[in-house]
Amino acid sequence: MRSRTFRKTKETAMKKNILVLGTGGTIAGAAASSTNTLSYQAGVISIEQILQEIPSLQDLANVRGRQVAQVDSSDMTHDIWLTLVREINVALAQADVDGVVVTHGTDTLEETAYFLNLTVHSRKPVVLVGAMRPATAMSTDGPMNLYDAVVLAASDEALNRGVLVSLNDTINSSREVTKTSTSLQDTFKSPELGYLGYILGGQPYFYRYPARRHTADSLFEVDSLKELPQTEIIYSYVGAGRGIIDAVVASGAKGIVYAGLGNGGIPAPIQKALADARAKGVVIVRSSRASSGIVTRNGALDDDAFGFVAADNLNPQKARVLLMLALTQSNDPSLIQDFFRTY
């Protein structure tokens, strides 16, 4: 499992070649006892060791691992994202790599998945997977989740469905999925729009394709970038003041996602602060702190008059990913609004 290329023998030639990139998380986590599922260290077990402990993976495909990072996903960075997407694009351009699985902490998994959905340029399967229980726990969910992710990455049915997220027997679109529970295994859901399918008995069952543009059809190209534009999220609440917005603008932010109220509503003093930020060239995207639904353009606010962008149905953390990538292309709010309608 350590070699850089897939070895070709009569036996391996019949199977798909799947590269598993390790980035850490609870799936690579260890606790002092098998009953401890809350206090443990994430990102300590190597991807090679994880793969060696699931020999049945090699029945599914020729599986090879590579460690890209070893972090708790709360420490995921833009630098790791840029490394990861380059590794994936290089790997999937090779004829002898059929799919990629990324092991990842669950806390920011949805953001990494959506980032890759917009920046990987391939129709081959890319699947993100994690676990809610550390690898040392009794009934850990990691090995079965990883087994299912390899099933998916090796499946022709997963081609051209964008970057997928698979945990707990379900298949989700990276654009739609979100972590909904702090601690339950059944935490990843795609609110309102639902799962793309299920994995049961070592077989994927798909029911639909994502409708928004992704991967091979995405225009976002980050392979040669050294950094991504500074973009921040600010959350709404009763009595919110403008100080935090002014501080974010002063820190050099190029874009702000405002997690507004209901249909992206913004309290009056904040509207003024965001309008001032816009006048300084900062791109403002209205998202919502409500957990589902669309923020409609010119709905709760006159976006045309303010020069703001409506986030469609992206949650604030995914709206920030798209805004950051949009800012690599343009800072024109009307063009960025088109991106939010398209991706």
Q: Give catalytic residues, as residue numbers.
A: 26
Selected range binding ligand SIN among 87-95, 101-109, 147-155, 324-332, rule: CB under 6 A: 101-109
Nearer to ligand SIN (CB atom), residue 38 or residue 335: 38
Nearer to ligand SIN (CB atom), residue 130 or residue 265: 130
**Structure-block tokens of residue 170:** 């379900």
Q: Which of 107, 111, 148, 232 binds ligand SIN (CB under 6 A)?
A: 107
Strand order in the sheet with 164-167: 62-71, 17-24, 99-103, 126-129, 164-167, 170-173, 197-200, 203-206
Q: Closest separation between CB of residue 110 and ligand SIN, Å?
A: 11
Nearer to ligand SIN (CB atom), residue 74 or residue 330: 74
Q: By CB under 6 A, how many residues form the interface with ligand SIN?
A: 11
**Sign for the pseudo-dihedral over CA of 180, 181, 184, 185:** positive
Residues 19-38 that bind ligand SIN (CB under 6 A): 25-26
CA atoms within 13 A on the CB side of 288: 21
Q: Closest separation between CB of residue 36 and ligand SIN, Å?
A: 14
Nearer to ligand SIN (CB atom), residue 92 or residue 163: 163
Does residue number 260 form part of the binding site for ligand SIN (CB under 6 A)?
Answer: no
Contacts with 337 (C-beta within 8 Å, 6 or more apart), sequence order? 297, 303, 309, 310
- The residue written with tokens 């993976």 in the block is 57
Q: Closest separation between CB of residue 170 and ligand SIN, Å?
A: 16
> Which amino acid, residue 214?
H
Q: Which of 19, 20, 42, 137 binds ligand SIN (CB under 6 A)?
A: 42
Does residue number 132 form part of the binding site for ligand SIN (CB under 6 A)?
Answer: yes
Nearer to ligand SIN (CB atom), residue 143 or residue 299: 143
Does residue number 130 form part of the binding site for ligand SIN (CB under 6 A)?
Answer: yes
Nearer to ligand SIN (CB atom), residue 187 or residue 296: 187
Residues 69-98 that bind ligand SIN (CB under 6 A): 72-74
Selected range binding ligand SIN among 4-12, 33-41, 102-110, 265-273, rule: CB under 6 A: 102-110
- Using CB under 6 A as the criterion, which residues of the chain lie in contact with ligand SIN when the complex forms? 25-26, 42, 72-74, 105-107, 130, 132
